[in-house]
Amino acid sequence: MDIEALRQDTPGCLNRVHLNNAGAGLLSRRTLHTMTAHLELEASIGGYEAAKQERSRIDATYEHIAELIGGRADEVALFDNSTHAWNAAFYSLTFQPGDRILTGRAEYGSNVLAYLQTAQRTGAEIVVVPDDAPGQTDTAALADLIDERTRLIGISHVPTSGGLVNPAEEIGRITRGAGVPFLLDATQSIGQFPVDVEALGCDMVTATGRKFLRGPRGTGFLWVRTQMLEHLDPFVNDIEAATWDGANGFIWHQGARRFASWEMSYANVLGLDAAVVQALELGMDRIGRRSIALGTHLRDRLDALPGVTTYDLGRDRCAIVTAKVEGLDTHDLAAVLARHDINVSTTVAEHTQFDTLHRGVHPLVRLSPHYYNTEAELDRTVEVIAEAARTA
Ligand SMILES: *Cc1c(COP(=O)(O)O)cnc(C)c1O
């Protein structure tokens, strides 16, 4: 990878040390240009006419996403974020009193709220699978907990709150063996390192465009395995999702399109496509090796500083690094970094409820490099944190 060329192609790299890719990655010039060109086209010839003209490029987006994650194009539906994609899958499952939803401590805040609402509505139970010693979802405990009441396993691959990579492949092996649907929230992993739906054995996957994929804000997608469709009753209908049968009924469209809505931002869709194509060209293997190496570089150096502790769980850890400085409020540390033009974010206790109930460590400063960051940027960040720790 020619890091210098990639940085030249990323306007944000010129202004900031951007370590907030778990929040939103930086757009490349190519993605930005693709989007503005489509907006210009809409303004000059009309929105419907522009979509018609660009139809083949819009359609190619599904092919490219399928290539990225290993599924089929007709198993992909586009959304305006990952949460709506996840909701489309989750709320299309049906639950009876006593049914069980198994999830992990790392599960994302909105997913947990959806579980809580569904438990209230239907009498289903939420079971939080404990972690193993390194702090990832305990697969032996998961296997023991699965029984005839289990309707769903919902797992966050990488949490919003740290560098943990959950053992999704092993979880997929267990859920396949048990014949239980596996909904994987891959919002932080797709774009950061290779995610292959066949290798992971999941049935439904959700992702966002704006994080490690470097797509525009307001994009996301759902992938649903074809064999899973018969178990899902889409929870909303739409002229994109189904066709009127001419009398009193309707017919769902083939594939994942039945979850989609008719209207969408095609500038965003084409921007997402440009970002996915760029990831494919660079190669997810190479992207993953570098982003994880940068995460390790940063975590190791922060760990070595007196007064600084990192909090990332798991045996396999990724580019997300969470830390705290003794005697310094997390938001004050984030403000110090911001004064040095270093972009970070902070974890929110309410966004990972089960982790909060278990560890109670949030808020933490969250630093999330990506392949276009440099070791020099990370070392500068470590220096700022070292100084903050010295004077705390
Ligand atoms: C950010 C995040 C989401 C939500 O993605 P949106 O695109 O904001 O809806 C879901 N799950 C995880 C693990 C996340 O980090």
Q: Measured between alpha carbons, how far is 327 from 158 in angstroms, rounded to an integer?
A: 28
Q: Could you tell me the two tokens for 134?
A: 């390194």
Handedness of CA 226, 229, 235, 240 (dihedral sign): positive
Closest-CA residue to 84 (of 193, 209, 190): 209
Same domain, 11 and 68: no
Same domain, 99 and 55: yes
Same domain, 148 and 213: yes
Q: Is the pTM of this model over 0.95?
A: yes
Residue of 82, 86, 184 best suited for mutating to test ligand 1, as the one with most atoms within 8 Å of CB: 82
Mean pLDDT for 175-181 is 98
Q: Measured between alpha carbons, how far is 108 from 188 in angstroms, rounded to an integer?
A: 10
Same domain, 339 and 203: no
DSSP 8-state secondary structure symbol assigned to residue 269: H
Of 227, 258, 281, which residue constitutes the final position of a domain?
281
Q: How far is CA 225 from CA 61, 89, 251, in A?
A: 18, 11, 19
Percent of the chain residues topping a pLDDT of 90: 99
Same domain, 9 and 53: no
Of 265, 281, 297, which residue constitutes the final position of a domain?
281
Spacing, Cα 183 to ligand 1 middle (Å): 14
Same domain, 62 and 127: yes
The rounded Cα 139 to chain-centroid distance in angstroms is 21
* pLDDT band of 214, cuts 50, 70, 90: very high
Handedness of CA 88, 241, 64, 53 (dihedral sign): negative
Same domain, 146 and 56: yes
pLDDT score, position 84: 98
Ligand 1 atom closest to residue 106's alpha carbon, by position in its atom list: 13
Mean pLDDT for 269-290 is 98
What count of other Cβ atoms lies within 10 Å of the Cβ of residue 379? 12
Spacing, Cα 187 to ligand 1 middle (Å): 5
Average pLDDT, the chain: 98
The rounded Cα 19 to chain-centroid distance in angstroms is 16
What value does the CA radius of gyration of the chain take, rounded to a whole number of Å?
A: 21
Same domain, 268 and 345: no
For 41-56, the pLDDT digits (tens) are 999 999 999 999 999 9
Closest-CA residue to 1 (of 299, 370, 276, 318): 370
Percent of the chain residues topping a pLDDT of 70: 100
Dmax (CA) of the chain: 74
Spacing, Cα 81 to ligand 1 middle (Å): 8
Spacing, Cα 248 to ligand 1 middle (Å): 38
Spacing, Cα 82 to ligand 1 middle (Å): 6
Let me know: does 1 contact 371? Beta carbons within 8 Å: yes
Spacing, Cα 209 to ligand 1 middle (Å): 10
pLDDT score, position 98: 97
CATH number of the domain where residue 119 is located: 3.40.640.10
* pLDDT band of 57, cuts 50, 70, 90: very high
For 8-53, the pLDDT digits (tens) are 999 999 999 999 999 999 999 999 999 999 999 999 999 999 999 9
For 112-139, the pLDDT digits (tens) are 999 999 999 999 999 999 999 999 999 9
Residue of 84, 108, 189 best suited for mutating to test ligand 1, as the one with most atoms within 8 Å of CB: 108
Ligand 1 atom closest to residue 158's alpha carbon, by position in its atom list: 13
pLDDT score, position 267: 98
Q: How far is CA 25 from CA 31, 63, 86, 161, 307, in A?
A: 12, 22, 21, 16, 29
Mean pLDDT for 300-327 is 98
Same domain, 113 and 232: yes
Q: Measured between alpha carbons, how far is 271 from 217 in angstroms, rounded to an integer?
A: 10
Of 281, 308, 340, which residue constitutes the final position of a domain?
281
Domain that holds residue 126: 32-281
Element at 325 (helix H, strand E): strand 321-325
Ligand 1 atom closest to residue 159's alpha carbon, by position in its atom list: 13
Same domain, 235 and 338: no
* pLDDT band of 183, cuts 50, 70, 90: very high
Ligand 1 atom closest to residue 81's alpha carbon, by position in its atom list: 7
Ligand 1: list residues with CB < 6 Å.
81-83, 108, 156, 159-160, 185, 187-188, 208, 220
The rounded Cα 209 to chain-centroid distance in angstroms is 8
Same domain, 293 and 273: no
Q: Measured between alpha carbons, how far is 343 from 392 in angstroms, rounded to an integer?
A: 21
Residue of 107, 190, 208, 217 best suited for mutating to test ligand 1, as the one with most atoms within 8 Å of CB: 208
Instruction: Give the count of domains, the chain.
Output: 2
Handedness of CA 293, 295, 300, 301 (dihedral sign): positive
Cβ-defined contacts of 285-292 (< 8 Å, 24+): 285/194, 286/1, 286/371, 287/191, 287/192, 287/193, 287/371, 288/192, 288/193, 288/194, 290/1, 290/371, 291/192, 291/193, 291/212, 291/318, 291/319, 291/369, 291/370, 291/371, 292/193, 292/317, 292/318, 292/319
* pLDDT band of 252, cuts 50, 70, 90: very high
Same domain, 267 and 301: no
Q: Could you tell me the two tokens for 152?
A: 């769903």
CATH number of the domain where residue 374 is located: 3.90.1150.10
